[in-house]
Structure 1
């Protein structure tokens, strides 16, 4: 198969901050269900090593909490010195194949199923009724004080420094999907009347403070990436015009790359994934609470049929608003789609479900062996992350439950 100029451009190097990627393909962060007592497991190491060997320029370790209270579920990485040797084993495995490793560092705020240890209620931009708490029993949340803001910002900085010590090449600040930084950005959650609420500029004040402090701490050594929701996907939330304004603020503050996601975990999951979670594609996780959440989402949300590049219309508005590097995410699963994104001026392509289905998809494309991914966007991988083997595609090799029961450094 003859390689087109546009797909060739996808295999050119990309500079983001101090980091040069070997091509334009990034493994997007996808919750893995592959952590044990806050440390990444051997299954997590194997997943990211296979993606690195499969040709991606950078792979992103999902949901590394900046503190134990920052987790949403027990099986997530915590950035502390207990996890350090296991994180280092993972980055070394990725580097053996010439790829870069990124740590997604974040805090769940009130989107958590774990009781907080340092406060009576889960923290958020605003206090009051906690709709996520209907499922966890934590029906109220607590507005963050100035002291809380300072402490959590410090935790992001410590997490970024630990990621650097562990050998990561980048950190990704998760500012989307309804996690803590998103709870400040979105009017769905931010009802504050001080300088951190009201206008978009005020709602961005805390996320920008975190970004600035992380840049000051590690930005000379690591690429600092921001992932955010260009649109919240619901009428009373941020829309794409707000997403473009957010991008301008992040660019002005010095972010090295933006990953353009969309949607919220509670209000608009189909916006995030581009398609519904039909009943026949659900799996039983053996955890009643999680099974209930998946079932409830399927019942309450309207049916959405998957279409490739489902976030392109929104992302184009951001591309027109800024000059900085942008990574498109959202339904990329073919050579034709990648070529179209390159023609639209996006700098990188972030792949999630596709690389779970085929870790070597990038090499397959470059060799010309095949154009399209085997991924069907069935979304069963989303529920598979709660099974003993962790995240996997039902069309491929399942996660290894034994590997998922030992720390990455113990392999």
Structure 2
């Protein structure tokens, strides 16, 4: 008799993460949708995530829900508060009608922000000093968080997680990567502290671990609590994939239900995150001056990188070897062959962004046997589409509906 553990895992089989069971192994990754004008979730945002659910995805992730107004990086981002609850409930209800689960990515930008803080004289971070993002925002200095700040922002994460539960979400994703606040504690590039929150890796994870434990205590019996982090930062002086494996061990010990394995940093190593360079079209198609400036700087500093499927697999394997907990692979899976390879190597789920923006019904096509390879060309132009009136969309299809994007999700 064959050992069931040796049989290949079907991408269409259920997956249990914490208290949540997904209908299959496909997760739509968090990708800023540009569909919350003034911070208000729009009807187009609901349409976007409902299309992911209708297209067969097991769980769709709403990107960047700030846990406080100072946690935003840009003005048109959602803040988890009472005002957004009715709109978010419309979104989760729509996703549930299609049989999928909904996850809220809850986060704080720290010094990675283009907004002047309301509660502090300078943007908060793990350490004080020069703020690289300030070259674009004009805020050239950042402020080290005090113990009181640490406890307050941990409280903010707990409140955000509870509000996500009230809004009908099935999971929350703590963003610990890409250069946002929790990542600024994890990263040796940002964290220069000499107290209990700095120095060795265990200390640098102390604040993110505190947030994780408190969120688990608050909602972990009802919601899946997911952590997304950068396995490798892809920048000189940043942490490596070996560090990424050790980070996973700490998060496993603290009780995370699932890890989403990303990589790279928004400022230092954007090509590590996306697995390929940004084209010239991205720099000229955005009317947003911050986006245009960022893309211009990236064009001068980022190396030319050509896309290849499963571009993070070598790094992710080190994490898989280090922990037993559920892991979601993220990074260039865009064909049935690569999806089956990832699951065959012991990863529990496949997380996709650009592929599902290009083809929201890709999972249904795979299950029906009518498609194997995605139409996505990994051109990265969907990133700049976030700043268009209709929000994030694929350049191979129709742009988002600008009229829907201007209408609040709920009629209040």
TM-score where L is the length of structure 1: 0.97
Contact preservation (8 Å) 2:122, 2:139 = yes
1:87 is aligned to 88
Of the structure 1 ranges 398-407 and 153-162, higher mean CA displacement relative to structure 2 is found in: 398-407
Shift of 1:7: 7.8
Of the structure 1 ranges 6-15 and 172-181, higher mean CA displacement relative to structure 2 is found in: 6-15
1:36 is aligned to 37
CA distance in 2 between counterparts of 1:39 and 1:202 reads: 37
1:317 is aligned to 318
In the TM superposition, 1:392-407 aligns within 5 A as: 392-407=393-408
1:96 is aligned to 97
CA distance in 1 between counterparts of 2:113 and 2:123 reads: 8
Residue 410 of structure 2 aligns to a residue whose secondary structure is helix
Cα pair distance change 1:376/1:208, threshold 3 Å: same
2:354 is aligned to 353
Matched, 1:113 2:114: yes
In the TM superposition, 1:292-311 aligns within 5 A as: 292-311=293-312
CA distance in 2 between counterparts of 1:102 and 1:81 reads: 18
Shift of 1:8: 6.3
CA distance in 1 between counterparts of 2:330 and 2:290 reads: 29
For residues 112-148 of structure 1, what are the alpha-carbon distances to aligned partners after superposition, in whole Å with 9 as ceiling and x for unaligned? 0000000000000000110110100000000000000
CA distance in 1 between counterparts of 2:254 and 2:322 reads: 15
Cα pair distance change 1:144/1:263, threshold 3 Å: same
Shift of 1:81: 0.3
Matched, 1:237 2:238: yes
Matched, 1:48 2:19: no
Contact preservation (8 Å) 2:334, 2:376 = yes
Matched, 1:367 2:357: no
For residues 249-284 of structure 1, what are the alpha-carbon distances to aligned partners after superposition, in whole Å with 9 as ceiling and x for unaligned? 000000000000000000000000000012145442
1:267 is aligned to 268
CA distance in 2 between counterparts of 1:159 and 1:288 reads: 30
For residues 271-308 of structure 1, what are the alpha-carbon distances to aligned partners after superposition, in whole Å with 9 as ceiling and x for unaligned? 00000012145442212222121122012111000000
CA distance in 2 between counterparts of 1:273 and 1:391 reads: 16
CA distance in 2 between counterparts of 1:292 and 1:406 reads: 29
Matched, 1:24 2:48: no
Cα pair distance change 1:306/1:7, threshold 3 Å: farther
Contact preservation (8 Å) 1:279, 1:295 = no
Contact preservation (8 Å) 1:6, 1:342 = no
Contact preservation (8 Å) 1:44, 1:404 = yes
TM-score where L is the length of structure 2: 0.97
1:328 is aligned to 329
Contact preservation (8 Å) 2:282, 2:295 = no
Matched, 1:338 2:327: no
CA distance in 2 between counterparts of 1:139 and 1:406 reads: 36
Shift of 1:37: 2.4
Residue 392 of structure 1 aligns to a residue whose secondary structure is coil
Contact preservation (8 Å) 1:52, 1:98 = yes
Alignment gaps of 5+ in structure 1:
none
Residue 397 of structure 1 aligns to a residue whose secondary structure is coil
Alignment gaps of 5+ in structure 2:
1-5
CA RMSD between the two structures: 1.2
